Amino acid sequence: MNTRDQHHFTSDSDTSALPAVVDRATWQAELDKLLVREKAHTRQGDAIAAARRRLPMVEVDPTIQLIGPQGPVTLLEVFEGRKLLIVYYHMWHDGQSADAQCEGCTFFNGQVRELSYLHSRDVTYATFCEGPYEASARYRDFMGWDVPWYSAQDSADALLAGRGFGTLACYLRHGDQVFETYWTTGRGVETMAPSYVLLDVTVYGRQETWEDSPAGWPQRWGNTGEQFRTGGRPTAQWSRLAAGRSDDLTS
């Protein structure tokens, strides 16, 4: 287990750059103008979601096998009897240590925790990992995640049809038939990460170099993966090490 000092987190933004200071009435007037744009953005998002609900779908073989905690299971069984299934396809660097595992997948997949609300809408959430079940499940346990976890190592070609991991996909069960209804990747998977949504409402945003920010605003990270790492490993791992968990993926 790597026990290096976990206190690598930034305690401030190392910047003297601040927004202009105005009286409350002026501030509220500017905020009100922005809220008009935000409401339009919300309505456009509603319209896109409505179009998403009207997409056609494609049939998927329900007997495709994955590996779970009890061994082989079919895609149909992953639904756990529910009507809908959301799957995140988690990247895996086979043979690599925990600190070398995908920082982006750790960031996004690790923020989906409370599943009861999905279950109440007849939706199952599951992770399909690119790696072998034993090692990848140990990573899940080290991180403290309790979402259903399966290895898709031998079924990725059939499931992804030429796409890659780091994909979020949605499925519908109709009797014993399974259909894929939607998928997204890249920035599309940001829907999984409330941390980004919360950062976006702060004055300094995500502090990444691609953002359109005023001069002097902190922009510490490029879109290279390091925005999800602290001290050389995925940021969320430090708290697990501090709690005494082992990141050994081989035992």
For residues 31 and 44, is the Cβ–Cβ distance under 8 A?
Answer: no
Contacts for 231 with CB less than 8 Å, ≥ 6 apart: 4, 5, 6, 8, 238
Sheet holding 71-74, edge to edge: 58-60, 177-184, 167-174, 84-90, 123-129, 149-151, 65-68, 71-74
- Please tell me the predicted confidence (pLDDT) of residue 21: 96
Query: Domain holding 74: CATH number?
Result: 3.40.30.10
Sign, Cα dihedral of 158, 162, 168, 174: negative
* Residue 13 belongs to some domain of the structure: no
Which one-letter DSSP state was computed for residue 223?
S
* Residue 41 belongs to some domain of the structure: no
Question: How far is the C-alpha of 143 from the C-alpha of 141, rounded, in Å?
Answer: 5
* Residue 130 belongs to some domain of the structure: yes
- Please tell me the predicted confidence (pLDDT) of residue 5: 41
Residue 194 belongs to domain spanning:
52-251
* Residue 25 belongs to some domain of the structure: no
Environment class of 94 (CB within 10 Å of its CB; exposed 0-12, middle 13-18, buried 19+): exposed
From first to last of the 251 residues of the chain, give the pLDDT tens digit: 344 444 445 555 567 899 999 999 999 999 999 999 999 999 999 999 999 999 999 999 999 999 999 999 999 999 999 999 999 999 999 999 999 999 999 999 999 999 999 999 999 999 999 999 999 999 999 999 999 999 999 999 999 999 999 999 999 999 999 999 999 999 999 999 999 999 999 999 999 999 999 999 999 999 899 999 999 999 999 999 999 999 999 97
- Please tell me the predicted confidence (pLDDT) of residue 2: 41
Structure tokens at 191: 């829907």
185-206 confidence digits (pLDDT tens): 999 999 999 999 999 999 999 9
Question: How far is the C-alpha of 212 from the C-alpha of 219, rounded, in Å?
Answer: 10
**Residues β-bridged to residue 21:** none
In sequence order, which ranges of 79-146 are alpha helices (DSSP H)?
A: 103-109, 116-120, 133-143
Work out the angle at residue 106's Cα, subtended by the Cα atoms of residues 100 and 110, and round it to the nearest 5 degrees.
150
For residues 243 and 45, is the Cβ–Cβ distance under 8 A?
Answer: no
Question: How far is the C-alpha of 239 from the C-alpha of 7, rounded, in Å?
Answer: 9
- Please tell me the predicted confidence (pLDDT) of residue 7: 43
Question: How far is the C-alpha of 216 from the C-alpha of 15, rounded, in Å?
Answer: 7
Total structural domains within the chain: 1
* Residue 31 belongs to some domain of the structure: no
4-32 confidence digits (pLDDT tens): 444 445 555 567 899 999 999 999 999 99
* Residue 4 belongs to some domain of the structure: no
Question: How far is the C-alpha of 23 from the C-alpha of 70, rounded, in Å?
Answer: 63
* Residue 230 belongs to some domain of the structure: yes
First-to-last alpha carbon distance for the chain, in angstroms, is: 11
- Please tell me the predicted confidence (pLDDT) of residue 12: 57
- Please tell me the predicted confidence (pLDDT) of residue 251: 73
Q: Given the structure tokens 């919300």, which residue do they identify?
A: 42
